[in-house]
Chain A
Amino acid sequence: MQAFLDVFDIYLLEAVINGILLGGVLALLALGLNLIFGVIDVTWICYAELVMIGMYGMYFMVQYYGVSYFVAAPLTIMLVAVLGAALHYLVIAPLLTAPPINQLLATGGVLFVLQSFATVAFGIDFRNLGIRLPVLAFGDMNFSYARLLSFAAALVGMVAVYLFMTRTFTGTAIRAISQDRQIMALMGVDTKRIYLITSALGGALAGLAACLLVLQYDVHPFVGLSFGPITFLICVLGGLGNFIGGFIAAFVFAEIISLGGLFSDLEWGYVLAFAFFIVMMFIRPAGLLARRR
């Protein structure tokens, strides 16, 4: 009996730590989506598809052209940043004053365009980087090196965004713009430019997430479905547009998935997470930390 409990505790601890590691990348994705929603007031339904394109970018650069991972990563981040800016410029900007449902449908359309484009261009094969990172063992617990690296990089990414938002003039303008859009011109701020920068930043975060996820998951045209819905749930649970709420919700979800997976299998972890979400929507419909006005 005692032996059973010892093993159980070790697995529990391992699951808790793996949940935290998973939460890092989810928080990164949630931050990107919240940024776009909070600043521009549109929801990029196709956010996870930007990640998918970034993962293909990594795959082709590393596997096909033999570029080193650490050179390919910044290039991918830039590629998806440009993609984010293009998405804003071509799809969102013309619809800025349109009803929200039209914006939602438009980005939903982009989702299908990107998925279909990937299917036609790259086929439906599952591809991976072919990089096998070692597994680290602490006592009886095993942690994948890829997850640790992803967690660390996601944290660095989020700290960088935090510093940008609080220390620079442009970052301050990004925080100000959602509080009073009309008077930004009086500050000498070109709102169109701020929207474009924010979209590029949101894209860059998706690009960073792509670099990290490609270490752990195979790439295929529908890989966005593995992260997209969960990212939306996190953002809604945290309160759409609320950065801190999204950060906390990411770890809540990651723990539920990880611990749920411990007691049965991983799919049940997701079922539990979604069930938790539905219950929470009844208890706190505006999110864990309802956006203060």
Chain B
Amino acid sequence: MLELRGLNAGYGTFQALFDVNLDVKAGEAVGVIGPNGAGKTTLMRVISGLIRPSRGSIRMEGVDLVATPSHKIVSLGIAHVPENRRLFPQLTVDDNLKMGAFMKEARDHYAERLEVVFDLFPRLKERRHQMAGTMSGGEQQMCAIGRAMMSNPKLLLLDEPSAGLAPVVVQQVFELVKRIRASGLTVLIVEQNVQQVLKVVDRAYLIEAGTIRASGTSAEMLASDTVKEAYLGV
């Protein structure tokens, strides 16, 4: 479904990603783990078009994303839940969800999508007229994921969904990710919470200093010495 080949990207003269190759197949859940500043968020931003790669290719179901204007990428079925959620704090939950359905294709199915999202997150339905910025962290994360789901994506990019949340809420967020997976959506998830994320994904990539250091199935990653020592504290 998603194919990254020889990807280089950065900010100005600072290069954050070096020759990254990564694949996500339809129906899979793939994790990207690694320390702070390894380039995980940059990777997500390059896929959704917020940053342009300096070299390499990104293809979504064969379509070249590098040649696609960034605001058209969501129409190809890629929805990005950005780091720190990035809701519109002074818009209501309803309006935030509306923004998720902005593009033409989603707008035509607005009512249906709203139902799907409210089914997934009944809490959002209760809070629909509340300003997004006044909700709790967990509710905001639901709203951010809900907003992304409004576009009826094929591939969901989740950037650190557990960051800044209380441990109990982190559990809930990972439960949600499982449910989203079960609904048949393909998921690419970036996380620092390695132990948790390896429980919900099929495969994972370990990224360090902008390069892919290791990859494999969740079981392989859990067994790998590099991952164990550095991230699982075993």
Contacts and interface: CB of A to CB of B under 8 A. Distances in A.
Contacts of B48: 185-186
Interface of A: 169, 172-173, 175-176, 179-180, 182-191, 292
Interface stretch (B13-21, B98-106, B162-170, B177-185): B98-106
B95 A184 contact: no
10 contacts: A175-B95, A176-B95, A179-B88, A179-B89, A179-B91, A180-B88, A183-B82, A185-B73, A186-B50, A191-B71
Nearest to B87: A180
A151 B15 CA distance: 58
A188 B75 contact: yes
Interface residues of B, number: 29
B151 interface: yes
> DSSP class of A's interface residues: helix, strand, loop or mixed?
helix
Interface of B: 48-50, 69-75, 79-80, 82, 86, 88-91, 95, 98-103, 106-107, 147, 151
Nearest to B81: A186
A199 B17 CA distance: 38
Q: Which 3 A-B pairs have the closest CB atoms?
A: A188-B103, A185-B70, A188-B74
B71 A188 contact: yes
Nearest to B79: A186
A186 B91 contact: no
Nearest to A176: B88
Contacts of B80: 186
Given A173-B102, A176-B99, A190 B88 contact: no
Contacts of B74: 185-188
Contacts of A183: 50, 82, 86
A134 B98 CA distance: 47
Given A169-B102, A172-B95, A175-B95, A189 B71 contact: yes
A83 to B, nearest CB: 26
A189 B82 contact: no
B177 to A, nearest CB: 19
